């Protein structure tokens, strides 16, 4: 995408321009000097850790032609500096305009909720792709533009990267984008300039209180996806709600578009008639507005019944037929690190799962219990620099629902791993049944301990990190993969006592 610098300036009310006054071409926007290159307009944002204004010279040295600032800065030779009252505000309209409003050229499906976003977006991508659509996907694990796959840094990227990705999707002839919309993205308006066609709520349970402070703020951030859905000019919009989640009843009355609901009750558009959960699959019979569906799915757990039902509502809203949906769901192989069974020749079941919230942990342990003949183990920790209040709650859930709990580290980030474990242990203090609890701070040692002690018919749930192949420690990020630790343990011929 190329834009004339004067046209860029015209988009910025109140702009004061200094430095190079020549008429030039801007070929790229970036808010990170590290990705600035020839032709870039570098947008300076004041962040939590640092201030983008510090990197104007660096961006210029890398070839950036202009910088967008909100305070006095140096003006490197040859660079044009455009000062506006607020760069954060300016970028919300500048980025969509620069990339020519790509979200207006695709069907946009947004999925929000505490848990289930990655699963739901991936189900929808499979359904739509199998039906002949070219689909872009944005989420926690990766960004996909048709068949091209890139790694993600955030669940929902910042406004500039997001608009750039959408532009690339349009350039690559995608007709639909399905994306996870995090509560951070809604609160910080990373999704400015996007008009959604279909919006899905999975559920709202405790997480991210470090950022939102209260559950009400958290819910209201998520509500924005639905209460703003009618704004704009696109026709045929649908809001999809999980009627079994109490937040839906609070948000739905404020929605001005068509609504579809899913849940256990027969008053929903989509509801289950019967389902049967096994370790690696489930059978599910559903009632839907396009007819009854008999499904055999390669994912499992009651929570996934909800993800499937939400996806079906969105798929129907997008015009898919009963046959499209049945065929697509049959093809859906699951998401890496979501109730993923690890087969390393061991005589018991090992599951790696991304449960990192109280509700997520509760759900996967309840599902695991349904397939456990022996004892149920859980190995888990909690992320550092994240909601501290969820830690003791997760401790109590592990104690209540598993037979043996092994508390370990997740991504400690800047925090002391021992302090995080102490927070979790608050929830383990009241142990009337005297259940076995271990504390093994090193995650590899914790997993290896369990691999060495689990018995045939036991189920081991390794929770929290799912698809992640790294561990973020105070001073460095190391390679770490829960499934690989399990496989290595058995490959090295370590014995299971
Ligand atoms: C709290 C939060 O959302 N922080 C985001 C924020 O970081 P920040 O304000 O600390 O930025 P900063 O590091 O101080 O930098 C300020 C500016 O200087 C720039 N800079 C910095 C260094 C440099 O050398 N050059 C340079 O230009 C940065 O690009 C930035 O524009 O802006 C950054 C750039 O967009 C984001 O990457 C960063 O997300 C961090 C990594 C993060 O962990 N965010 C999490 C909490 C998050 O957003 N999570 C949600 C939900 C997850 C889920 O539930 O799935 C998500 O959507 O991912
Ligand atoms: N519908 C659901 N209800 C409750 N828990 C769920 C649901 N779906 C998934 N989970 C649990 O949450 C974990 C994460 O699932 P998924 O990645 O789909 O959610 P997410 O909303 O994308 O998470 P994140 O906020 O990290 O992006 C799963 O591994 C599982 O433990
Ligand atoms: N997107 C979530 C992922 C958490 C995963 C868990 N492994 C952790 O590090 O806390 C977050 O940033 O809160
Ligand atoms: Mg996700």
Q: Which atom of ligand 1 is nearest to the CA of 49?
A: 14
Tell me the pLDDT band of 6, cut-offs 50, 70 and 90: very high
Could you tell me if residue 94 is left (phi over 0), alpha (psi between -120 and 50 degrees) or otherwise beta?
Answer: alpha
Cα–Cα distances in angstroms (integers) from residue 304 to residues 267, 294, 341, 363, in the given order: 20, 15, 15, 10
ipTM for the whole complex: 0.95
Rounded CA-CA distance 335/118 in Å is: 8
Ligand 4 ion: residues within 5 Å (CB): 117-118, 140
Pocket of ligand 1 (CB under 6 A): 31-34, 45, 47-50, 52, 55, 140, 154-156, 158, 182, 184-185
Please report, to the nearest 10 degrees, the dihedral formed by the alpha carbons of residues 107, 111, 116, 120 taken in order.
-10
Given a cut of 80, is residue 286 above it in pLDDT?
yes
Query: Is 87 part of any known ligand binding site?
Result: no
Task: Centre a 10 Å sphere on the Cβ of residue 12 and count the other Cβ atoms it contains.
Answer: 19
Tokens of 71: 């305070």
Could you tell me if residue 198 is left (phi over 0), alpha (psi between -120 and 50 degrees) or otherwise beta?
Answer: beta
pLDDT for residue 417? 98
Cα of 161 from ligand 2 centre, angstroms: 24
> How high is the mean pLDDT of the chain?
96
Three-state SS annotation for the chain: CCEEHHHHHHCCCCCEEEECCCCCEECEEECCHHHCCCCEEEECCECCCCEHHHHHHHHHHCCCCEEEECCCCCCCCCCEEEECCCHHHHHHHHHHHHCCCHHHHCEEEEEECCCCHHHHHHHHHHHHHHCCCCEEEECCCEEEECCEEEECCCCCCCHHHHHHHHHHHHHCCCCEEEEECCHHHHHCCCCCCCCCCEEEECCCCCCCHHHHCCHHHHHHHHHHHHHCCCCCCCCCCEEEEECCCHHHHHHHHHCCCEEEEECCCCCCCEEEEEEEECCCCEEEEEECCCCCEEEEECCCCHHHHHHHHHHHHHHHHCCCCHHHHHHHHHHCCCCCCCCEEECCCCCCEEEEECCCCHHHHHHHHHHHHHCCCCCEEEEECCCCCCCCCHHHHHHHHHHHHCCEEEECCCCCCCCCHHHHHHHHHHHHCCCCCCCEEEECCCHHHHHHHHHHHCCCCCEEEEECCCCCCEEECCCCEEECCHHHHHHHHHHCCCCCC
Given a cut of 80, is residue 496 above it in pLDDT?
no
Which residue, among 29, 184, 25, 16, has the nearest Cα to 97 in the 3D structure? Answer: 29
Residues 412, 413, 418, 420: is their CA dihedral positive or negative? negative
Query: Is 468 part of any known ligand binding site?
Result: yes
Cβ contacts of 445 within 8 Å, gap of 6 or more: 408
Q: Which atom of ligand 1 is nearest to the CA of 117?
A: 55
Rounded CA-CA distance 106/194 in Å is: 10
Query: Which protein residue's CA is at the shortest distance from atom 11 of ligand 3?
Result: 386
Cα of 479 from ligand 1 centre, angstroms: 22
Query: Is 131 part of any known ligand binding site?
Result: no
Query: Which protein residue's CA is at the shortest distance from atom 10 of ligand 3?
Result: 383
Query: Is 410 part of any known ligand binding site?
Result: yes
Q: Which domains, ranges and CATH numbers included, belong to the chain?
A: 3-88 (3.40.1390.10), 102-330 (3.40.1190.10), 340-496 (3.90.190.20)
Q: Is the CB of 378 under 6 A from ligand 2?
A: no
Cβ contacts of 1 within 8 Å, gap of 6 or more: 27, 28, 98, 99, 100, 167
Structure confidence by residue, pLDDT tens digits, 45-67 = 999 899 999 999 999 999 999 99
Cα of 202 from ligand 4 centre, angstroms: 11
Rounded CA-CA distance 212/149 in Å is: 31
CB-CB contact of 406 with 431 (8 Å): no
pLDDT for residue 494? 63
pTM exceeds cut of 0.90: yes
CB-CB contact of 398 with 410 (8 Å): no
Tell me the pLDDT band of 439, cut-offs 50, 70 and 90: very high
**For a pocket test of ligand 1, which of 42, 184, 211, 411 has the largest count of ligand atoms closer than 8 A to its C-beta?**
184
Tell me the pLDDT band of 141, cut-offs 50, 70 and 90: very high
Minimum mean pLDDT among 18-27, 433-442, 462-471: which range?
A: 18-27
Query: Is 182 part of any known ligand binding site?
Result: yes
Q: Which residues of 454-464 are buried (b: 16+ CB within 10 A; e: fewer)?
A: beeebbbbbbb
CB-CB contact of 449 with 377 (8 Å): no
Rounded CA-CA distance 257/176 in Å is: 20
Q: Is the CB of 338 under 6 A from ligand 2?
A: yes
Cβ contacts of 261 within 8 Å, gap of 6 or more: 240, 241, 242, 243, 248, 267, 268, 269, 270, 313
For the residues 187-210, what does the mean pLDDT come to? 95
Query: Which protein residue's CA is at the shortest distance from atom 3 of ligand 3?
Result: 356
Percent of the chain with pLDDT over 70: 99
Cα of 60 from ligand 3 centre, angstroms: 35
Q: Is the CB of 30 under 6 A from ligand 2?
A: no
Cα of 197 from ligand 4 centre, angstroms: 20
Query: Is 495 part of any known ligand binding site?
Result: no
Query: Is 476 part of any known ligand binding site?
Result: no
Q: Which atom of ligand 2 is nearest to the CA of 207?
A: 25
For the residues 330-344, what does the mean pLDDT come to? 95
Which residue, among 29, 72, 38, 40, has the nearest Cα to 54 in the 3D structure? Answer: 72
Rounded CA-CA distance 300/141 in Å is: 20
**For a pocket test of ligand 1, which of 29, 43, 45 has the largest count of ligand atoms closer than 8 A to its C-beta?**
45
Structure confidence by residue, pLDDT tens digits, 143-174 = 999 789 999 999 999 999 999 999 999 999 99
Given a cut of 80, is residue 304 above it in pLDDT?
yes
Structure confidence by residue, pLDDT tens digits, 456-468 = 999 999 999 999 9
**For a pocket test of ligand 3, which of 113, 383, 468 has the largest count of ligand atoms closer than 8 A to its C-beta?**
383
Cα of 52 from ligand 2 centre, angstroms: 33
Task: Centre a 10 Å sphere on the Cβ of residue 444 and count the other Cβ atoms it contains.
Answer: 18
């Amino acid at each position: 995408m190329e834009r004339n610098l004067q046209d860029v300036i015209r988009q910025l009310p109140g702009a004061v321009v200094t430095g190079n006054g020549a008429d030039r071409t801007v070929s790229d926007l970036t808010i990170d000097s590290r990705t600035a290159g020839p032709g870039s307009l570098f947008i300076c944002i004041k962040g939590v850790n640092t201030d983008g204004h510090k990197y104007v010279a660096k961006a210029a040295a890398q070839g950036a032609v202009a910088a967008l600032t909100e305070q006095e800065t140096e003006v490197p030779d040859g660079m044009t500096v455009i000062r506006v009252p607020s760069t954060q505000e300016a970028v919300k309209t500048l980025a969509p305009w620069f990339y020519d409003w790509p979200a207006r050229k695709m069907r946009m499906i947004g999925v929000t909720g505490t848990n289930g976003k990655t699963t739901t977006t991936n189900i929808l991508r499979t359904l739509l792709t199998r039906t002949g659509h070219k689909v872009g996907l944005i989420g926690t694990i990766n960004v996909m533009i048709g068949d091209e796959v890139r790694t993600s840094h955030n669940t929902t990227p910042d406004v500039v990267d997001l608009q750039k990705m959408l532009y690339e999707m349009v350039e690559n002839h995608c007709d639909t984008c399905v994306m996870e919309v995090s509560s951070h993205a809604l609160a910080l308006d990373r999704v400015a300039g996007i008009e959604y066609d279909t919006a899905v709520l999975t559920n709202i349970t405790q997480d991210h209180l470090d950022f939102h402070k209260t559950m009400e703020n958290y819910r209201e951030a998520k509500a924005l996806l639905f209460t703003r859905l009618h704004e704009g000019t696109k026709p045929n919009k649908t809001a999809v709600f999980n009627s079994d989640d109490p937040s839906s009843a609070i948000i739905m009355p404020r929605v001005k578009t068509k609504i579809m609901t899913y849940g256990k009750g027969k008053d929903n558009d989509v509801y289950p008639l019967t389902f049967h959960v096994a370790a690696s699959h489930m059978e599910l019979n559903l009632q839907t507005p396009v007819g009854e569906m008999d499904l055999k799915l390669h994912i499992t757990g009651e929570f996934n019944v909800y993800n499937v039902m939400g996806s079906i509502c969105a798929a129907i809203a997008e015009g898919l037929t009963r046959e499209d949906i049945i065929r697509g769901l049959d093809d859906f192989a699951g998401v890496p690190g979501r109730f993923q069974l690890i087969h390393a020749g061991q005589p018991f079941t090992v599951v790696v799962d991304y449960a990192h919230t109280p509700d997520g942990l509760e759900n996967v342990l309840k599902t695991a219990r349904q397939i456990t003949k022996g004892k149920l183990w859980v190995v888990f920790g909690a992320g550092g620099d994240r909601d501290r209040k969820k830690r003791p709650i997760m401790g109590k859930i592990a104690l209540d629902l598993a037979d043996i709990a092994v508390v370990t580290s997740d991504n400690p980030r800047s925090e002391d791993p021992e302090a995080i474990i102490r927070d979790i242990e608050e929830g383990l203090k009241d142990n009337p049944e005297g259940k076995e609890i271990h504390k093994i701070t090193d995650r590899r040692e914790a997993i290896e301990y369990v691999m060495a002690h689990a018995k045939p018919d036991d189920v081991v749930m390794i929770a929290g990190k799912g698809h992640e192949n790294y561990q973020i420690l105070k001073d460095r990020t190391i390679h770490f993969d829960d499934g690989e630790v399990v496989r290595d343990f058995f490959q090295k011929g370590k014995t299971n006592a």
